[in-house]
Amino acid sequence: MIIWTRFGFLVLVIAFAAFLSTEWIVEAVNADQSYYQNNGWPKIVASVVGGALVSLLGFYLNKKKNERELVDPKTGEQMLLTTGGGHTFFFIPMQYWGPIIVVFGIVMAFTKP
């Protein structure tokens, strides 16, 4: 089960797109269909690019917050209502997934299937 809030699902989409596009580009440039699987550096490049995109998008989306001050008409009590932000993937804010993706890419680069 995949758990996300708001645009948190983009963590998975962006990371997958980064790894897939890197594989396509590297294999097209080298004219070798197994180059990506046999070398570690393309996975590190893909994870750095994907992680950077996820972190930047996460910082942007979670920074935008709208605040409204509400007043209870009976008591005159004031309350601050904050909306926006809250873009998470598996309960972790999007911007923190960037380093996690980079670590995942480094682990992939140094392990053989």
Sign of CA dihedral 23, 37, 31, 47: positive
Closest C-alpha among 56, 42, 45, 50 to residue 100: 50
Which residue ranges make up each domain of the chain? 7-110
pLDDT of 68-88, one tens digit each? 788 888 888 888 777 667 889
- Residue showing tokens 């758990």: 3
Tokens of 4: 């996300």
| Distance separating alpha carbons of residues 84 and 62, to the nearest angstrom | 7
String of DSSP letters for 77-88: -EEEEEEE---E
Q: What is the rounded average pLDDT for all residues in the chain?
A: 89
pTM (2 d.p.): 0.79
